[in-house]
């Protein structure tokens, strides 16, 4: 006489599958892409007004589809971009027409200082690689951060990241990040 094979009770299979699903959802970590922190300017009240900026106050950076830099019409290099941008934006050259104009500002907690009227204009080709775009953004951010740190050390004796919020705001007012980024277009490749 043969015995019948016992049946497996599958009633709780759905519960087990549901618990496993919950377990994996709770314990799995996901990488979160972080973007570039930028404070956007306020909306333009009257967009029909054409704002004129003196040519000496603008540093033009072009990145072509081959990831080559053109800084103020001359070949540039990513390894020197930070120093070039920093030199351009540091208000040490008020009477030199090769550098931006400066303005005298009185800022609470800092006093009267000279601030650059310079603007860095960045334009990328549609074919520029994402890595090159990020490298250029990083170098420009490093240039502004170093200018801020130098001012902070000279006025308060410590770098910006060690300041109180009130002092940090004063440094940010003294050294505004002026980077104008144009819509990408086909610039060329050679």
Query: At residue 59, what are phi and psi to the nearest 5 degrees?
Result: -105, 115
Q: Which helix (H) or strand (E) holds 21?
A: helix 13-27
Number of neighbouring beta carbons within 10 Å of residue 88? 21
Q: Which residues of the chain have pLDDT under 70?
A: 1, 32-44, 46-53, 93-94, 186-190
Which pLDDT score, from 0 to 100, does residue 47 have? 64
Which pLDDT score, from 0 to 100, does residue 32 have? 66
Which pLDDT score, from 0 to 100, does residue 50 have? 63
Q: Look at the block and give the residue holding tokens 């505004």.
A: 176
Domain ranges in the chain?
55-181
pLDDT one-digit tens code per residue, 101-152: 888 889 888 888 888 888 999 998 888 898 999 999 999 999 999 999 999 9
Query: At residue 142, what are phi and psi to the nearest 5 degrees?
Result: -60, -40
């Amino acid at each position: 006489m043969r015995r019948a094979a016992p049946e497996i009770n599958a009633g709780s299979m759905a519960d087990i599958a549901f618990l496993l699903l919950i377990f994996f959802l709770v314990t799995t970590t996901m990488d979160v892409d972080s973007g570039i922190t930028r404070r956007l300017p306020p909306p333009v009240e009257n967009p029909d007004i054409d704002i004129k900026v003196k040519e000496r106050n603008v540093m033009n950076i072009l990145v072509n589809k081959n990831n080559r830099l053109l800084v103020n019409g001359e070949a540039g290099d990513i390894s020197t971009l930070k120093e070039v941008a920093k030199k351009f934006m540091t208000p040490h050259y008020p009477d030199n027409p090769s550098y931006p104009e400066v303005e005298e500002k009185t800022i609470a907690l800092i006093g009267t200082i000279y601030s650059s009227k310079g603007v860095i204009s960045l334009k990328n080709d549609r074919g520029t690689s994402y890595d090159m775009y990020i490298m250029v953004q990083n170098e420009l951010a490093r240039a502004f951060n170093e200018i801020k740190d130098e001012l902070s050390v000279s006025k308060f004796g410590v770098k910006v990241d060690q300041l109180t919020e009130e002092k940090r705001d004063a440094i940010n007012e003294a050294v505004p990040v002026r980077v104008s980024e144009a819509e990408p277009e086909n610039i060329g490749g050679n």
